[in-house]
Amino acid sequence: MEDFKREAGRCDGFDIVDDEHGGLGMGGAFNFGGSGQGLGYRIDIEFVRRFMAVFRVSRLRDVNGKACWVTHSHSDISKIEPLLPDEGTPFNIHAWSAELKSKRTP
């Protein structure tokens, strides 16, 4: 089990990108001062909407330069939250992913 920590991070370079499998994805990084961690996800419109809701923006590129709380391990991001609760809607990526899997499993 990986150790997760919560750090303030700044969004950098988020955009829609061509992934290596011929599809479209969302990619970018969170910078934590001296270090950073990337986030890449194959396009799922609900994922992108929830991600943008953390920052209350209507265009993905508008998240760049904005700060947020990021709960992450060395290789995984589990949750993204606005710095202040009234600035946006938290996005628990692990809970969202588990809910999707449960809907797909008979």
pLDDT the model gives residue 103: 82
pLDDT > 90: percent of the chain: 60
Domain boundaries, the chain: 5-104
pLDDT tens readout for residues 31-51? 998 788 888 888 788 999 999
Q: pLDDT tens, 63-96?
A: 999 999 999 998 899 999 999 989 999 999 999 9
Neighbours of 36 (CB within 10 A): 14
Residue 36 phi/psi, 5° resolution? -155, 170
